[in-house]
Homo-oligomer: A and B are copies of this chain.
């Protein structure tokens, strides 16, 4: 890789390009892992990822992740790792801005396929 292609990424500049909720966009790759930005608002579906852990870092606002026996509230400046296979339902009352880190090729709705499922993730 040529050094000229190495550039810092500003989260807010990228978030300005995202209009749709629950639609993660790729901003960077680290080996075979991807960094994706997403805006959360309202309810996502309960799902799990059979093959991988998933990390959420909250950049602005706060999100809730409902597990079987508790709900974690994650705010700006906080992160959580949801382990492989653990059912979780993300939701957010107000708009929140989130950085997601997971391996390339992960389906956003995990084991569930519905109208929220994205067939592919675009770069911004």
Contacts and interface: CB of A to CB of B under 8 A. Distances in A.
A74 interface: yes
Main SS class of interface, A: strand
Interface residues on A, range: 35 or more
Contacts of A20: none
Q: How many copies does the complex hold?
A: 2
A6 B87 CA distance: 12
Nearest to A59: B77
B11 A70 contact: no
A90 B28 CA distance: 20
Interface of A: 1, 3-4, 6-12, 28-31, 33, 35, 52-55, 57, 59, 67-70, 72-74, 77-84, 86, 99, 101-103
